[in-house]
Amino acid sequence: MRILLLGYGKMGKTIEQIALERGHTIAGKIDIQNRPEMDRLGSDDVDVAIEFSSPEAAFDNITYCLKKGWPVVSGTTGWLEHRSEIENLCNEQSGAFFYASNYSIGVNLFFRLNRQLARMMNSQDYQRSMTEIHHIHKLDAPSGTAITLAEGIVEETESLSGWKLAPEDQEGYLQIVSKRIGEVPGTHIVRYESAVDAIEISHTAHNRAGFALGAVISAEWLSGRNGVFGMDDLLKNLD
């Protein structure tokens, strides 16, 4: 496949390396410094775009690609207030759009474990909390992965109405603590605590390779499809 990279930071460079190892070619590498170069690409020059840019650029990048007829795999977080607009545009254009807050296969299995544990703990008297830790360059907080985890817990817990980002704390809401430390790729910890014990599950990424591989696999899977998809659709093939 000919892959257009939108966002060429550390994640984009890792995706490039894995894509080349898997036999793909890079149709272009677009970042804020060379954005006009994307206008020189024709509709037939790109098979799929993989978008890991910034919250400010994501909506325009994805819109451009869908109007150009390019399938898009996006992993940028912090722009999801516009997600319904993108999904509507995708359907109007008979395009293909794949979004995930985290492309790591391990994290997506963790999402399932998180929901199952939340369901089991629904009627138990435990205080629920979450901590997410990322590198100092991450612009949004909480992380998209933390939001996905929080939504899973809230949906399975009758006593919760939503989530709040610390230091804000409110009865009936799951509190998320966000930390930005060094070059940490990503750590997410879900904790249940009572007066007698505590239960904790966590996922720790050692590097960006797992995220990048998942994004490339998603781009391969998206080929030839139309519609709006996510990791649940991909993982059905892995069950």
CB 93 within 8 A of CB 227: no
Annotated ligand binding at 115? The verdict is no
Annotated ligand binding at 103? The verdict is yes
203 as an active site residue: the answer is no
| DSSP line for 141-185 | SS-HHHHHHHHHHHHH-TT--EEEETT---TTEEEEEEEE-TT--
Exactly one of 13, 82, 138, 164 is catalytic; which is it?
A: 138
Annotated ligand binding at 204? The verdict is no
Token representation of residue 128: 């629920």
Annotated ligand binding at 141? The verdict is no
Annotated ligand binding at 88? The verdict is no
Annotated ligand binding at 102? The verdict is yes
Exactly one of 24, 68, 134, 203 is catalytic; which is it?
A: 134
Q: What distance in Å separates the CA atoms of residue 156 and residue 120, rounded to the nearest whole number?
A: 9
Annotated ligand binding at 77? The verdict is yes
67 as an active site residue: the answer is no
Annotated ligand binding at 157? The verdict is no
Three-class SS state of 109: helix
User: Cβ contacts of residue 48 below 8 Å, gap of 6+?
Assistant: 1, 2, 3, 4, 70, 71, 72, 73, 219, 222, 223
Q: What distance in Å separates the CA atoms of residue 158 and residue 122, rounded to the nearest whole number?
A: 7
Annotated ligand binding at 63? The verdict is no
Active site residues: 134, 138
Binding residues for (S)-2,3,4,5-tetrahydrodipicolinate: 135, 144-145
Binding residues: 35, 75-77, 100-103, 135, 144-145
Binding residues for NAD(+): 75-77, 100-103
Binding residues for NADP(+): 35
